[in-house]
Amino acid sequence: MSDKIEELVEKLLANTNDGKTKWEEAGLEKGFLTSLSKFSILLGVTQNKIGDNIIELSILNSEGKTIEEYRGQQLTLSSLWNAARRAAFGVEVAIDALIEELE
Amino acid sequence: MFAEYWDAFVTHSSTIGTIVSILGFIITIFYIVKIKKVAIIARKASEATLRKLSYIDVVKELSATIEIAEEIKTLIVLKAWHLLPDRLSYFRRRIIIIRHIDDWVIKSHGIDLQSIIGYTAIAEKSLSKFITSGETEPKKIEKLTNRIIDQSTLLQNIQGRV
């Protein structure tokens, strides 16, 4: 992973964990999308031949064109995928509601 | 007699000249400031008019784009999959046009519009894949329908805020 992509992933992860970056399901694709004012970031997942998850990060420009794609299995990328999934599905809110109901 | 007046005039002429120059300079500065203020007021009025015109353009474009979103929803209901990528592409291009009408559009609604562009581009790509795959119906069709409804609602919200 290039240094800049790594920095981007780390910042996205930190912002997602802080609730500053909102993710939503990307529609037809199995993935999550977040948008800033001029770019969108799409996170997707595929599996390799032995069944390991490969995370795909795509950067879409202001016209919706994919200008950069990165695939990897790094820990930060997997953490970002999980954080995005949890944010998109509102997992934290669901767990809090469950705990509250069970108390 | 004349010589006395002439001497006095010569003695004071430089002082009078200096005073007249200073007065002229002050009057010039006063008019420059006045003209500058008038120019600023005229520029502000012209900017306000242009902004009003750009608001009208945005509202007009948003209305047309919302209609396309409604058409896309109908095409989904009718399962007219082959027509959808083209309509989605047109829809996305309209959003790109709206973004470029004025800087305030990007400042105020940049993230929402970019989000719509992103979702539409993904939907176009997925539908094109589906069409070439030969399957009868795209997977997770409810999600696509919901996304289009979300985008249409988002556009209506933007229109309401403009």
Q: What is the pLDDT of residues B97-133, one digit of tens each?
A: 988 888 888 888 889 899 999 999 998 888 888 888 8
Mean pLDDT of A93-101: 93
User: Are B122 and A33 inside 8 Å of each other by CB?
Assistant: yes
Mean predicted lDDT score pLDDT of chain A: 91
A56 touches chain B (CB under 8 A): no
A33 touches chain B (CB under 8 A): yes
Please list every residue in chain A whose beta carbon sits closer than 8 Å to the beta carbon of residue B114.
Answer: 35-40, 62
User: Are B127 and A25 inside 8 Å of each other by CB?
Assistant: no
- Closest Cα of chain A to B127: distance in Å? 8
pTM of the model: 0.75
A22 band by pLDDT with thresholds 50, 70 and 90: very high
Give the three-class secondary structure for A25.
Answer: strand
A84 touches chain B (CB under 8 A): no
Sign of the Cα torsion B37, B43, B46, B47 reads negative
pLDDT of residue B89: 94
User: Are B96 and A65 inside 8 Å of each other by CB?
Assistant: no
Q: What is the DSSP string of chain B?
A: -HHHHHHHHHHHHHHHHHHHHHHHHHHHHHHHHHHHHHHHHHHHHHHHHHHHHHHHHHHHHHHHHHHHHHHHHHHHHTT-TTTHHHHHHHHHHHHHHHHTS-HHHHHHHHHHHHHHHHHHHHHHHHHHHHHHHT-SS-TTHHHHHHHHHHHHHHHHHHHHH-
Range of the domain at B157: 2-161
Please list every residue in chain A whose beta carbon sits closer than 8 Å to the beta carbon of residue B127.
Answer: 28
The closest of B33, B91, B84, B38 to B62, measured between CA atoms, is B91
B1 band by pLDDT with thresholds 50, 70 and 90: low
Q: Is the pLDDT of residue B91 over 90?
A: yes
- Closest Cα of chain B to A21: distance in Å? 12
User: Are B114 and A26 inside 8 Å of each other by CB?
Assistant: no
User: Are B140 and A28 inside 8 Å of each other by CB?
Assistant: yes
A64 touches chain B (CB under 8 A): yes
ipTM over 0.90: no
Query: What's the total number of domains in chain B?
Result: 1
For residue B75, count other CB atoms closer than 10 A to its CB.
18
A57 touches chain B (CB under 8 A): no
- Say how many CB pairs under 8 Å bridge A and B: 70
Please list every residue in chain B whose beta carbon sits closer than 8 Å to the beta carbon of residue A39.
Answer: 114
